[in-house]
């Protein structure tokens, strides 16, 4: 560095990435592995020691993973305790004790909005927090080439893992004047019927039905689906048990559908986790988009599936929904396996981090760089 | 994307960086430009509209900058209101009204710890917050080649802009058994005397004195320096006005020095903004490092200047201080112009973001990527 007119000072600078310290990863019951690996590996690659607190009902998959990480660490000469399991039981939950502990500096959380908001409140105690909470995902129906193919795809999306994916659609916004499909006008009623038929068709399909639906994790989720009429509105499809040939005692359920008017906002403004979908009758596609956007921004959303054959409307829906930080997937067809709920590991962002569904996004640089800080030391050296 | 055994689905994916929205930059009085430009430009380059709230006593520099930005925007066909000035007065401060406004999504703040903590509390209302607050910077004296040169450099560091830099050293940790300098043992008392002499020498230097010290911004800062004995400990150098030939009415002040014992922690555990330094008499260099580290982690620190001739001790001091996320600068010599307070624009991180002195670091990628989110849309296209 030249200083003054003639003199120079020689400095040797080193830049060290310093990990924030002990990190806590809090897993959920329904996606114990997929949702937690990014945070766990994010911690380990940035030099943080990770403590994994699995959901008390989903311990085994994580126990296996932590054991493998410890084996690999040991084999390569690292302390195997760079990753540890902190399992608890429903009788004696450890989440808050661990999250509030002064030695815990980074927290990754997947789970309910209520618990996620509590975890986010710990930011004010100096903790770095990454959350994925709940949201209300939307489907916007305007126009399509292929009514049956579109409805098959949507029925797959809502049925997959019995709607227990954080990316599963919940609210279907359909204009009261109906939609366009294959060049023809389809009335609102016929559109709803086509959706209902596709869902029933998939559920009763002898091979796909039970395999796509899988089992319901929580008894409460099953109760919600079975009592969908209590949400209000008109029950247009009842949830029913679906026999699984290999698991006769499995807790299973096909999706319930209720129908509400757009003005009855209280009936569709909360997350209905599991196999329950709500058809919302709107005045127009513009109203559909407007409600989906406002609700996503206020309550959170991870996905939006939209069907329109017009490029300009696609642009419009993208622009509106991205203001609520929701990505839009257009015009998927067929009974799987590509549905709006599925994010690709290396080419999709999972959760935008821009609305209440979560404050972070896997694969965004933010998800990594906030786990450590750069410290730049300087030493004067002889010229 | 191949799906199933034979079929493929073709998706067109677009990734849009979506700005978080209206951003607020809150400037401070003493560094209205330097501290606020990174946040302001961070907002603009990520597509956010920026509102600049200058300190009511430092409005002009920002008014000039905002005017230039608006001119440049207009010239290139952008809306000039991408950057606006939101000036207020001491009688009617606007900071909280603006910061709490629902439309404000990103906040950059430079100022006091108390106000900074309030701004950070807004994270729980969904705002993205970058702060630079106060800290207590340390000097660790162990051994050096050149006693006079080292003390000259430190006197420059504490005098520059009358100690009103967030990077200015405050606490000087000196072992009771003295230090090594140029191969000789220097007693604790002689070390303190050398520091005092260097500070007095610079202050009374006919050319450098008034130019290095500059003026004191706030009357309260001057009072603190003039009443340094009220902090406790022993006053070993009184603050004195320094005449400035060009500005006879300037509010000026040379640094006050107080001396305390390491055990009297309450006397040196708060920030003493301005030209006041504290000599802390410790049992050993190890105790010096231990106190500096603990205090930095708990109350925040931006810089640490250390003097030691031993490589192993440099490594040790770096390792300890980086656990409190404080960079260390070693062995600077001479009466400026390279001092511990000066961070280089393109090769230093300013503030680590890892301790209470601030939650962000200029030039860290985190400082940019958190101002927008990535939204990935997908459209099915014909194969």
pLDDT in tens, A131-155: 999 899 999 999 999 999 999 999 9
Contact at CB, A332 and B13, closer than 8 angstroms: no
The pLDDT, as a whole number, for residue A382 is: 83
Chain A residues with CB under 8 Å of B337 CB are 3-4
Cβ separation of B356 and A1 shorter than 8 Å?
A: no
**B323 chain-A contacts, CB cut-off 8 A:** 18
pLDDT for res B9: 86
Nearest CA in chain B to A322: B375
> Per the CB < 8 Å rule, is A375 touching B322?
yes
Res. A3: pLDDT tops 90? no
Residue to mutate among B379, B381, B383, with most A CBs inside 10 A, is B379
Which of chain A's residues have a Cβ under 8 Å away from the Cβ of B314? 379
- pLDDT of A337 reads 74
Share of chain B above pLDDT 90, in %: 90
Decide if B331 and A379 are in contact by the 8 Å CB cutoff: yes
B11-133+358-377 has which CATH code? Answer: 3.40.605.10
Q: Å from A341 to nearest chain B CA?
A: 12
Give CA A312 to chain center in angstroms.
Answer: 28
Residues of B in contact with A370 (CB under 8 A): 366
CB spacing of A327 vs B4 below 8 angstroms: no
Nearest to A375 among B327, B347, B373 (CB): B327
Inform me whether the pLDDT recorded for B5 exceeds 60.
no
What HEC string does chain A produce? CEECCCEECEEEEEEEEEECCEEEEECCCCCCCCCCHHHHHHHHHCCCCEEEECCCCCCHHHHHHHHHHHHHHHHCCCCHHHEEECCCECCECCHHHHHHCCCEEEEEEECCHHHHHHHHHHHHHCCEEEEECCCCCEEEECEECCHHHHHHHHHHHHHHHHHCCCCCCCEEEEECCCEEECCEEECHHHHHHHHHHHHHHHHHCCCHHHHHHCCCCCHHHHHHHHCHHHHCCEEEECCCCCCCCCCCCCCCCCCEEEEEECCCHHHCCCCCCCCEEEEEEECCHHHHHHHHHHHHHHHCCCCEEEECCCHHHHHHHHHHHHHCCCCEEECCCCCCCCCCCCCCCCCCCECCCCECCECCCECCCHHHHCCEEEEEEEEEECC
**From A325, which residue of chain B is nearest by alpha-carbon distance?**
B375
Partner-chain contact A330 B124, CB within 8 Å: no
pLDDT-derived band at A358, boundaries 50, 70, 90: very high
- Assign A4 a pLDDT band (cuts: 50, 70, 90): low
Over the stretch A17-75, which tens digit does the pLDDT of each residue have? Answer: 999 999 999 999 999 999 999 999 999 999 999 999 999 999 999 999 999 999 999 99
Give B37-88 pLDDT, tens digit per residue: 999 999 999 999 999 999 999 999 999 999 999 999 999 999 999 999 999 9
Determine the Cα–Cα distance for residues B124 and B115; give it in Å rounded to an integer. 16
Q: Return the CATH superfamily for domain A138-330.
A: Aldehyde Dehydrogenase; Chain A, domain 2 (3.40.309.10)
Q: What percent of chain B has pLDDT over 70?
A: 98
CATH 3.40.309.10 domain residues, chain B: 138-330
Please report the pLDDT score of residue A282 as a whole number: 98
pLDDT surpassing 90 at residue B193? yes
Question: What pLDDT score was predicted for residue B2?
Answer: 56
**Alpha carbon of A306: minimum distance to chain B alpha carbons (Å):** 9
Helix A37-45 vs helix A60-75: crossing angle, to nearest 10 = 20
What whole-number distance in Å separates Cα of residue A299 and Cα of residue A295? 6
Per-residue pLDDT, B100: 97
- Every domain range in chain B assigned CATH 3.40.605.10: 11-133+358-377
Report the residue of chain A nearest B359, measured CA to CA. A126
The pLDDT confidence band at residue B4, using thresholds 50, 70 and 90, is: low
pLDDT in tens, A162-215: 999 999 999 999 999 999 999 999 999 999 999 999 999 999 999 999 999 999
pLDDT band at B242 (very low <50, low <70, confident <90, very high): very high
Q: Which residue of A has its CA nearest to B375?
A: A327
Mean pLDDT computed over every residue of chain B: 94
Q: ipTM value of the model?
A: 0.91
């Amino acid at each position: 560095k030249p200083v003054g007119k003639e003199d120079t000072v020689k400095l040797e600078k080193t830049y060290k990435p310093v990990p924030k310290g002990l990190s806590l990863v809090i897993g959920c019951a329904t996606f114990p592995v997929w949702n937690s690996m990014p945070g766990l590996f994010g911690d380990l690659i940035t030099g943080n020691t990770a403590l994994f607190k699995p959901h008390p009902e989903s311990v085994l998959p994580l126990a296996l993973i932590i054991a493998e990480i410890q084996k690999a660490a040991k084999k390569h000469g690292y302390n195997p305790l760079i990753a540890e399991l902190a399992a608890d039981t429903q009788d004696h939950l450890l989440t808050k004790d661990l999250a509030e502990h002064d030695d815990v500096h980074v927290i990754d959380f997947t789970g309910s909005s209520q618990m996620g908001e509590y975890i986010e409140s710990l930011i004010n105690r100096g903790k770095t927090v990454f959350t994925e909470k709940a949201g209300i995902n939307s489907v916007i129906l305007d126009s399509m080439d292929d009514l049956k193919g579109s409805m098959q795809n949507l029925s797959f999306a809502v049925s997959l893992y019995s709607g227990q994916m954080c990316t599963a659609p919940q609210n279907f916004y359909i204009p009261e004047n109906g939609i366009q499909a294959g060049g023809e006008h389809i009335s609102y009623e016929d559109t709803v019927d086509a959706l209902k038929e596709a869902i029933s068709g998939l559920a009763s399909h002898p091979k796909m039905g039970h395999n796509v639906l899988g089992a319901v994790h929580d008894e409460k989720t099953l109760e919600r689906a079975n009592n969908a009429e209590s949400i209000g509105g008109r029950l247009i499809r009842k949830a029913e048990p679906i026999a699984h040939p290999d698991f006769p005692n499995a807790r299973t359920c096909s999706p319930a559908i209720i129908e509400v008017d757009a003005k009855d906002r209280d009936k569709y403004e909360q997350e209905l986790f599991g196999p329950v979908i709500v058809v919302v009758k709107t005045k127009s596609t513009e109203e559909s988009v407007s409600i989906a956007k406002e609700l996503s921004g206020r309550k959170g959303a991870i996905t939006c599936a939209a069907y329109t054959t017009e490029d300009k409307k696609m642009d419009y829906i993208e622009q509106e929904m991205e203001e609520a930080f929701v990505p839009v997937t257009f015009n998927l067809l067929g009974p799987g396996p590509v549905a709006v709920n599925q994010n690709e590991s290396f080419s999709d962002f999972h959760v935008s981090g821009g609305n209440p569904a979560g404050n972070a996004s896997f694969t965004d640089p933010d998800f990594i760089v906030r786990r450590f800080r750069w410290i730049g030391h300087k030493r004067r050296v002889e010229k």
